[in-house]
Amino acid sequence: MLCLHDSIRDDDPSVQRLLCAVEDAPSLTALILAAWQVARVLTVHLVEAVLAERARRPLAWPRCPQCGVVLRSKGFATRQVMSLFGPIRWRRRVGRCPHGCAIPQVAPLDETLGVQPQQRTSGELQQLGCALAVFVPFATAARLLGWYSGRPVSPQAVWGWVQAAGQRAMETLQKHLQALAQGDLPAPEALAADLAAAPLVLGADGVMVPFRPTGGQPTGKTRWQEITVGVLARLGQHRTRTGKVVTRLHHRRLVAVLGDVEALKPRLWLEAVRQGIRQAPQVVWLSDGARGLWRLYEERLAASAVGILDFYHAVQSLWKGAAAWLDGRTTQARRWFGWARHRLRHGQPDGVVADLVEALEVEGLPDSARDTLTALYAYLERHREHIDYAQYKDLGLPIGSGMVESACKWLIQQRFKGVGMRWSETGFNHLLHLRLAWVNGSFEALFQVPLQASPNT
Ligand SMILES: [Zn+2]
C-alpha cells in the first residue's frame, strides 16, 4: 500500500527532509509539530501552484487613469507576501501605460486577489494578529504568530494592523453616529424569540486609564483619563447547581468612549436602538448613584426604562446616615441601620424617609449630622422612583448593578491596565474599537475587505 508520506515525498528535497523529521520524531508532540511543518510547506506549494496557474490566464487590461488608453503588459514580475504559513511568492503580469504616463505599476491579478500594492502580509495573518492583540500585549501577539507562521513577526507589524483595523471600525461608527444625528435610526439586531422576549438592561460605568503626557512623549507624568463604558444586554434567569436562581446577562453589547457620560450618550443610544429598546417588552436601567449617569437616564431613557438604583449603593448611604446621626460605634446606630436596610429591601422606603424627617425635626441635632441626614433624605427623595426593591424582585429584575459594572470594567481592565502600560490617545482608541468589535461580534466583518496598507503592513 502506498502511504501518504510516500506519495508526497517525490519531487521536493526540502519536503523529504521534513518527512524524515516526522519519521524520526521521538514523542507524540514532536511528531505532530514535525507533521505541521510538512503541512505548512505543502500549503505554500498548493497556494503557489494555484496562483501560477491563474497568472497564466489571459486578462483584460484596464485603462490608464490619466490618458484613458488600455494598459499594456510589461511581462511577469514577482510578488511576495508573508502569510500564516510563511512567505508566498507568485509571478504575475504587470502593466504600464503605453504612452508613458507616470502611474504606478498595475497588477490586475493582485487586485482580483484583494492584495493591495504596498501590502506585505496577507489578510488572515493580520486578522489573527489583531485577534490576539485584543487580549494580549503586541509583543506576545507577535511571538505567538511567529510560532504558527514559522517566521518572526514584529510587534510593530501587529501594532500597525491594529491601527488600520481600529481606524476602520471608528470610521464605520462615525458614519452610523452621523446617520443617527440626522434621524436615521439603525435596524434592530435580529434576536432569537426567547432573547427578544427578555428584559433589556442598560448600565454604564467609568474606568480610569493611564495615558502618556500630552503630546505623546514616552517620558513624563502619566495622565489618567476617564473611559466611559456602557453595557446593553438581555436579562436571563439561570438556576445554579445548588438550586439558586441567579440573573445572567445574555447577548451582551458594549459601547465605550475616551471621555465622559456626555460623550457616551449618542453611542449608547445608537446601540440601544440596535438592541431593540423600542421593541423590548421591558427596559431596565441599573446604576449606582453617580449623578452624570442618572442625568443620562432622565434625558434619554426615563420614558421607556425602569430605573433601578443599585441596592448596595443605597445601603451604603443609609449606613453613612446612621453613623453620622447615632454615632457609628453604638448599637443604636447598627439597629437603626438594620431596620432601615430591611425596610428598603422589602418595599417600605417611605417608612425610612419618614424616619429621617422625624430625626431632622429633633432640636439640638449637631450640624454635621444634620447635613449628612439632609443629604441622605435628598438622595432617597431623588431616587424615590428607583428604590422599590421588593417590586423589582417580584418582576425578576436584579437590584444590584454589580454585573453591569463588572462587564464595563472587564473591557478596559483586562487589556489596558497592565503593569507599566501607558497609552497614546490614538493607539488606545484603535485598540479599544477592535476590542469592542470583538465583544460585539462584528470583528470578522472588519476584515472582509483588505486593510488600507500603511508602511507597517
Ligand atoms: Zn496613460
Binning pLDDT at 50, 70 and 90, where does residue 450 land?
low
pLDDT digits (tens, 9 = 90+) for 337-371: 999 999 999 988 898 889 888 888 888 888 888 89
Q: CA-CA distance, 155 to 159, in Å (whole number)?
A: 6
Distances (CA, A) of 97 to 100, 110, 111, 113: 5, 18, 17, 22
Binning pLDDT at 50, 70 and 90, where does residue 53 land?
very high
Average pLDDT over residues 78-107: 93
Structure confidence at residue 456 (pLDDT): 43
Structure confidence at residue 452 (pLDDT): 57
Burial class (CB in 10 A: 0-12, 13-18, 19+), 403: buried
Strand partners, 207: 227
pLDDT digits (tens, 9 = 90+) for 113-140: 999 888 899 999 999 999 999 999 999 9
Q: At what angle do helices 155-181 and 123-133 cross, to 10 degrees?
A: 80
How remote is the CA of residue 116 from the centroid of ligand 1, in Å? 21
How remote is the CA of residue 67 from the centroid of ligand 1, in Å? 4
CB 196 within 8 A of CB 159: no
Structure confidence at residue 87 (pLDDT): 92
Pick from 207, 219, 116: which is nearest to 452 by CA?
116
How remote is the CA of residue 449 from the centroid of ligand 1, in Å? 28
CB 143 within 8 A of CB 133: no
Q: What number of residues does the chain have? A: 457
Q: CA-CA distance, 240 to 407, in Å (whole number)?
A: 20
How remote is the CA of residue 94 from the centroid of ligand 1, in Å? 15
Average pLDDT over residues 223-251: 89
DSSP letter for 69, please. P
User: Near ion ligand 1, which residues have CB within 5 Å?
Assistant: 64, 66-67, 97, 99, 101
Task: State the first-to-last Cα distance of the chain, in angstroms, to the nearest integer.
Answer: 47
Is 90 exceeded by the pLDDT of residue 248? no
Structure confidence at residue 457 (pLDDT): 43
How remote is the CA of residue 107 from the centroid of ligand 1, in Å? 15
How remote is the CA of residue 311 from the centroid of ligand 1, in Å? 72
pLDDT digits (tens, 9 = 90+) for 276-302: 999 999 999 999 888 889 999 999 899
Structure confidence at residue 218 (pLDDT): 75
Averaged pLDDT of the chain: 90
Q: CA-CA distance, 346 to 39, in Å (whole number)?
A: 65
Structure confidence at residue 326 (pLDDT): 83
How remote is the CA of residue 73 from the centroid of ligand 1, in Å? 13
Structure confidence at residue 289 (pLDDT): 81
Rg (the chain; Cα; Å): 31
Q: Collect all residues with Cβ–Cβ distance below 8 Å to 300 and sequence separation of at least 6.
A: 265, 268, 269, 272
How remote is the CA of residue 85 from the centroid of ligand 1, in Å? 38
Q: What is the pTM of this model?
A: 0.86
How remote is the CA of residue 96 from the centroid of ligand 1, in Å? 8
What is the phi/psi pair of residue 248, to 5°? -125, 150
CB 408 within 8 A of CB 432: no
How remote is the CA of residue 430 from the centroid of ligand 1, in Å? 38
Structure confidence at residue 95 (pLDDT): 94
Higher pLDDT, 106 or 217: 106
Q: CA-CA distance, 385 to 316, in Å (whole number)?
A: 18
Structure confidence at residue 125 (pLDDT): 93
- For residue 56, give the C-alpha cell: 497564466
Helix or strand or coil: residue 248? strand
Q: CA-CA distance, 287 to 312, in Å (whole number)?
A: 11
